[in-house]
Every structure is written in C-alpha cells, then in structure tokens.
Amino acid sequence: MALLVQKYGGTSVGTVERIEAVADRVLKHKRQGDDIVVVVSAMSGETNRLIELAKNIQAAPDTREMDVLLSTGEQVTIALLSMALLKRGLDARSYTGSQVRITTDNAHGKARIQKIDTEAMRADIDAGRVIVVAGFQGADELGNITTLGRGGSDTTGVALAAALKADECQIYTDVDGVYTTDPRVVDSARRMDKITFEEMLEMASLGSKVLQIRAVEFAGKYQVPLRVLSSFSEGEGTLITTEENENMEQPAVSGIAFNRNEAKLTLKGVPDTPGIAARILGPISDANIEVDMIVQNVSADGTTDFTFTVDRNDHDKALSILKGIEGELGARTVMSDAKIAKVSIVGVGMRSHAGVASSMFRALAKESINIQLISTSEIKVSVIIGEKYLELAVRALHSAFKLSDSAAGVSEE
C-alpha cells in the first residue's frame, strides 16, 4: 500500500467529462489499496479568462488582488473533483491552499512555500479519505492568499509529497512522458522510461514544458520520486529519480531541448575592467528581467564584447536599458537580435564521455548552421542559432546522437 500524490494539470481537468475520468483513475488506485492525495490545477482556459478580466481593469493589477482572483480557478476544480469522487462512493474532501495550511512568504504571484502543516491531512489519510488540494496556492502568515506563479501546481504536488513522505509524486498531464525531444519537431522522438533530476532540470529550463522547473528542483532536493504520465491514456510514463540508468551503457546524450522564446543582446567594445559585468547586468536585474545565457569572450585591445539572452518579451525593455547605460559604460555600440533560438543537448553521460560537444558542432556544421553563442555545463551544451534553423538543428542532433533507438549513444561518424 503506497501513498501517492497525484497532480492533474489544466487539460486533465478541462471539462466535467475529464474531471469524471480523473475520478475514475483515483478510484482505481484507491481500490488497489493506495492512499491518494490529489492536487489539481484550474480547468484549462480558466486562468486566462480570469487574467483577461483583470487586464480589462488595469494592465498591471495589484498583485495581492490578482492572487485572490486567480486562486478561485483551482478552488472550482477541487470542489468539482470532490463531488465526482463522492459520487463514486469515495470519502473525499477538498482543501484550498490556505485551508490545508500551505504557508508561503508574501511574494504575491511568485510565493515560495515555507511550511506545510500535515497533521490534519494525516488524520484524513488515516481515515481512508481522499484529499483534494488546490494547487498553485497558499497563504502567508497573515492569511493573505498567495499564488506560486504559473505552473505552480506541480510545485504543490511535490511539496505535499515531500511533506507527507509519499512514495511517489505522479504528475498527470497531456503527454505520456518526457521525450528525447519535442515529437512535433522530430517524428521519431522517443519516450524515456527514466531520467535523472539533473537532466530533467536542464530539459525543463530549456523549454520542454512538461514540468515546472521549481517542482523538479524541489523533488530533487527532497528525493521525491517524480513520475510524468498521461491522464488521457494508460502507460508507465517517465520516472524522474536520483538513480542513474545502470542497466545499459549510459548514453552520453539523453535528449535535445530547445527554446524559441529568447532574444540576444550584445554590448560591443566595453572596457574590459573588473566589475563591468555587474554594471551591465545590475540595471537589467533591477528591472526584474531574468537573464539566461551570459557570454563574454576574451578581451582584445582592452575592450570586450558582452552578450546575454533574455525572454523575448523582455527584449525591448532590456534594449532600452542598455541604450541608457552604454554611454557611461564607454561601450562602442549596442546590438540585439530577437530572431534566435537556443538548442541544447542534455545528458548525465556527458560527464564521462569526451567529444560530445564537438559531435554536436560537427552535426550542425554539416547542415551549414552557424553557431552564434555557446554555453556549457557539466551535463549540457547549449548553442544559439538563427531561429529559422531550429527544426533543422533539432532533427540533425536527434539523429546524430541516435536518440530514436532505445540504445542511444554518442554519434560516431
């Protein structure tokens, strides 16, 4: 008898029929003897509907009130799912984030969970009750409603699983697992049975939108086994664990991630003096713009070129900040390009395989794709290329690293 936390996303509860299907699935697991805590998102479309209402009043509404508004989305779902479970003869009870005592800081719209009081939940579980919790939300110490930010229902699921020491946190979504790359781009993309937290983190942050990155971090930190699976079909999904794959030769590259929502900005000819990076990025971070890649090359003639990427929505704001400071920094010029894409190869096996990066560059060169920027970590290599080459690059890399076969490995040309 296992304790499972099951999280169902917006499309999995998008209609009353879908909610009934979720109830059937919970019933099946319950009958198998498992204890179930369910975490749900707002019905798909609902969050956008609420945002639209608020935007009709003000472009940037008060963040406290925005949380009061958005938290209703999940509240609707917990009530409807509990009704569907009760109809099936299960003892079920819904809880909002504040009712179940998910205490967060007061950073409205992007609150972080500080503690979860599990006592009441334990009593419910011991009584055989299915608990249905609203994802994405909590309350601060004063009782103000907070939200964890978009996609935060995954984080709720993992946090509950960690607090309750659940055997597994199952994330039900509209895909049946984590793929070697986006199947819409590469037909032969393959579902992975297992992936490590580190790999998943790189996949998630690079644009494989299966799981929210904070949830993966959380799961890794608290060693909560995380499984991604489809609420629309049966199947084992993809298990995300700390264990690396021991049963076969570790492939060097597990998957290809990409992101087409970035923009690139460059300050050319800035004096190569200590502290210059901080003086460039300080104003950017003060404006709440998140920076992804940062590349600074070796200096020539006492000046250097400094390049970074931001979310494409922040491009205009970042550019005007750079224009404002280029004079005082003594830069030669500011350049930017929003028509770029990032492609990354990810794999824990890279650590023990030499030559993975050069295999990547060779595969791209063969397709005459120019690499604009390169950035590496222990388990990934990312490049920035022209946006129009994205699909070509992903397919070339997927094939070069033989990811379609289950015995994936480094390509040997």
- Contact predicate 357/341, CB 8 Å: no
Of 96, 155, 238, 336, which lies in the binding site for its own copies, with binding defined by CB under 8 A? Answer: 96
- Within residues 66-95, the interface with its own copies by CB under 8 A covers 66, 68-69, 71-72, 75-76, 78-80, 82-84, 86-87, 93-94
Give the Cβ contact number of residue 335 at 10 Å: 14
Task: Report if residue 27 touches its own copies, rule: CB under 8 A.
Answer: no
Question: 60 or 407, CB closer to its own copies?
Answer: 60
Residue 65 found at the interface with its own copies (CB under 8 A): yes
Going through 109-203 in order, the beta strands assigned E by DSSP cover 113-116, 130-134, 137-139, 145-147, 168-173, 194-196
Complex with its own copies: residue 84 or 390, whichever CB lies closer? 84
Distance CA 194, CA 177 (A): 9
SS3 305: strand
In the complex, what is the shortest distance from the CB of residue 95 to its own copies, in angstroms, rounded to a whole number? 9
In this complex, which beta carbon is closest to its own copies, that of residue 60 or of residue 278?
60
**DSSP output for 30-88:** HHTT-EEEEEE-PPTTHHHHHHHHHHHH-SS--HHHHHHHHHHHHHHHHHHHHHHHHHT
The minimum distance between CB 79 and its own copies, in angstroms, equals 4
Minimum distance of its own copies from residue 230's CB (angstroms): 23
In this structure, what token pair is assigned to residue 42? 């707002």
* Given 19, 164, 331, 397, the residue binding its own copies (CB under 8 A): 19
Phi, psi at residue 98, to the nearest 5°?
-75, -30
| Interface of this chain with its own copies, residues 125 to 164, rule: CB under 8 A | 143-145
Q: Which residues are annotated as a binding site for ATP?
A: 7-10, 173-174, 179, 184, 209-210
Nearest-CA neighbor of 259 among 199, 309, 195, 321? Answer: 309
Please give the DSSP secondary-structure letter assigned to residue 192. Answer: -
Instruction: Determine which residue in the list 21, 27, 50, 213 makes contact with its own copies, applying CB under 8 A.
Output: 50
Q: What residue ranges bind its own copies (CB under 8 A)?
A: 16, 19-20, 50, 53-54, 56-58, 61-62, 64-66, 68-69, 71-72, 75-76, 78-80, 82-84, 86-87, 93-94, 96, 99, 143-145
